Structure 1
Amino acid sequence: MSSVGNRLVESTKDHAAACWPEHDWSAARYRHGAFHDVLVLPEVVARIGTDAERVAREHRTALLLSGIDLPFAVPKPLSEPRTHDGRTGMLVSRLVGQFHPDIPWPDAASEFAEALDALSSVTLPPGLPPPRVWCGGEQWPAVVMDHLVPLLPRDLRDTAAEVVAAVIVTEFRAPVRLVHGDFGPHNLLWSDGRISGLFDWDHLCAGDPAIDLAPLVGMYGAARVAEITDSVTLNRAMTHRATLSLQVAAAGELTGNVALREHALNNFVTRARAETLRDPGTG
């Protein structure tokens, strides 16, 4: 790790020690995400970021989840958001299970289907945010059109506008369910071949359940995902998948993370040129 990286780890541990001195953070495992620094201890996890409102929103999300009965574990809030030295964090419970980010489709398909069905079956609690609050919410189309489209190659600007418009139209016809927002092996834990935990609920919303199929389309391809859903829902999932890189780019734009924005825009360009925005065909 670079000296800059080491300083970030140490400053994150210093933040945690100041906010939650009852825990020994010296041996905590550090992970860096797009919007958070994460410290992992055997019993608790600290999620720390520079955007106090984002952390407050995630705390509200964790409180909402605490009242929902699901067949797998979700992080429970263990502290109010606490601010120290320009950063804000919260404690959540650590989930138990093994991490298998590259789990093969045949080993996971039935579990994916069962977990997604469980999410869709939840009675929506009051207070759930609308889709894409993390990348602009209702202003997301405007962020794309006003700030991101001008950064794209001219021949792909209409494509970006079209895929964004397609999502808006699609959602008018879609049911509204409890949506994790970033469902996939990268946010799942497993035990004895079963999903034991689902984490990173930053994108939780009341929205189209096809949103939760979109990352699976991106990883496994539409042909595989067709095994666990109907053709209408799959088509909506592919429509959402086409915009995933523009959602990440919008989040980067709104948070001033230029590197994240450029990385996501480059992904959009690559997929658009390869005609894989809706389906990478990796199934």
Structure 2
Amino acid sequence: MPAARAHRLAQQLLPEVPTDLAEALATYNWYDAQLVERGKDHLILLADELAVARIPRKTDPQLARTMQLIDQLELPWMLPTPLSAVDDGVLQTYIPGTAHPHGVGDPHTLANIVTVFGEYDTTGLALNTPFAQRGRFTNAMLTALDAVVADHMAWEIADHVHGWTDDGVGAGLVHGDLAGHNMHWVDGHLVGVLDWDYAARWDTALNATYLSLWHGVALEDITTTPHRARVWSGALGLYSLANALTWDISAAGWRRLKKKVQPRVVAAYQALPHAED
């Protein structure tokens, strides 16, 4: 039971947890916590505004590394720092705020976020590896995509993002999913960044890609590498199409997905000649 596991974690608090918070967590009834099942890898229990219990759905050998990374990072926003030992889950600090509304955003604010990530020194950080979440594109995946993506565009896009990664192009701090519920905002100000599981030393153009996709802002307004970010947007779209090919998706659902993703793939392919300028 998630509540029982959270209660056990509350008895394993780190020494630096403030006394008043430690006392509140030790006596908190975790069966009263709000259960959030949005993520595919973890269950989240919200203990009012005291703390958050992060409980893996299955054994997560990366969780301790992620907590180490969060402890290492020094960013201008709140981070979900660990409050307890990592023991089949972890308690983390509560971060106020909510996801930013979809489809809107201030370009100046978003550009600043891209800059902060792009300039961050990744030396010694306990980062994950590129492609950790979805894996690299395989020949089998690309062959299947040929049925829905014309002119071998998928192969060209995959070849470029693989090559950039292998060559360290734009290498820096990449969050891995910098959007939506992983970013908490209050009154238009970014308060905290959550979910660092897939953070890696990777092409920082990806940070702009995720922000642009969520907020609907033009890449040219938030990054100096819009063409490369546009190629990454198409690559992410290819993953969506490849996943859908393995599902029992309805014809209507498939049409909606293609209408949403295909323009990104075409734009990515058209950006390839300019992406390395």
Q: Same fold (TM over 0.5)?
A: yes
Counterpart residue identity of residue 172, structure 2: R
Secondary structure, counterpart of 2:81 in structure 1: coil
1:227 aligned to 221, 225, 230, which one?
Answer: 221
Secondary structure of the residue that 1:167 maps to in structure 2?
helix
Give the corresponding residue for 1:31: 36
1:66 pairs with 2:71: yes
Give me the TM-score of the superposition, normalised by structure 2.
0.74
CA contact (8 A) 1:238 1:278 kept: no
Q: Hey, what's the Cα distance between the residues in 2 that align with 1:174 and 1:123?
A: 15
**How much does 1:70 deviate?**
1.0
| Contact 1:71/1:115, CA 8 A, preserved across alignment | no
1:169 matched to 2:163: yes
Report the Cα distance in structure 1 between the residues aligned to 2:61 and 2:249, rounded to whole angstroms.
27
Among 10, 13, 16, the residue aligned to 2:3: 13
Q: Calculate percent identity across the aligned residue pairs.
A: 24
Q: Is the 8 A contact 1:78 1:92 kept in 2?
A: yes
* Residue 35 of structure 1, CA deviation: 1.8
Whole-Å separation in 2 of the counterparts to 1:209 and 1:37? 29
> What is the alpha-carbon root mean square deviation over aligned residues?
3.4
Q: Look up the match of 2:149.
A: 156
SS of the residue corresponding to residue 26 of structure 1 reads helix
The separation in 1 between residues aligned to 2:90 and 2:111, in whole angstroms, is 31
Q: CA deviation at 1:155?
A: 4.4
Deviates more, 1:194-203 or 1:125-134: 125-134
After superposition, give the CA deviation of every residue in 1:111-136 in whole Å (9 maximum; x if it has no partner).
21222211222211323233121223
Q: How many residues are treated as equivalent by the alignment?
A: 245
Could you tell me which of 66, 83, 87 is aligned with 1:82? 87
Instruction: Tell me whether 1:114 sits opposite 2:126 in the alignment.
Output: no
> Which blocks of at least 5 consecutive residues in structure 2 are unaligned?
12-25, 269-277
TM-score, normalising length from structure 1? Answer: 0.72
SS class of match (2:113): helix
- Shift of the 28–113 alpha-carbon distance from structure 1 to 2, 3 Å rule, reads same
Post-superposition offset of 1:221: 4.6
Structure 1 residue 73 displacement after superposition: 0.7
Select which of 185, 190, 209 maps to 2:185: 190
CA contact 1:56–1:81 (8 Å) conserved in 2? no
**For the Cα contact (< 8 Å) 1:68–1:122, is it kept in 2?**
no
Judge conservation of contact 1:246–1:268 (CA < 8 Å) in 2. Answer: no
2:130 maps to 131
Equivalent residues of 2:9, 2:84 under 8 A apart? no
More helix per residue: 1
- Secondary structure of 2:164's counterpart equals helix
- In 2, are the aligned partners of 1:210 and 1:234 still within 8 Å (CA)? yes
Distance 1:70 1:97 in 2: 17
CA 1:245–1:34 in structure 2 vs 1: closer, same or farther (change >3 Å)?
farther
Unaligned runs of 5+ in 1: 1-10, 84-88
CA distance in 1, matches of 2:137, 2:213: 21
2:137 corresponding residue in structure 1: 141
Letter of the 1:169 partner, please give it: G
Which residue of 2 is the match for residue 180 of structure 1? 175
Q: 1:196 to 1:103 in 2, by over 3 A?
A: farther
Structure exhibiting the larger radius of gyration computed from Cα positions: 2
CA distance in 1, matches of 2:255, 2:46: 30
Rounded to whole Å, the distance in 2 between the matches of 1:28 and 1:81 is: 19
Residues 93 and 211 of structure 1: CA distance in aligned 2, closer, same or farther (over 3 Å) = same
Q: 1:197 to 1:134 in 2, by over 3 A?
A: same
Equivalent position of 1:43 in the other structure:
50
Distance in 2, Cα, partners of 1:191 & 1:219: 17
Are the counterparts in 1 of residues 208 and 222 from structure 2 also a CA contact under 8 Å? no
1:194-219 CA distances to partner (integer Å, 9 max, x unpaired)?
21111111220111110111123323
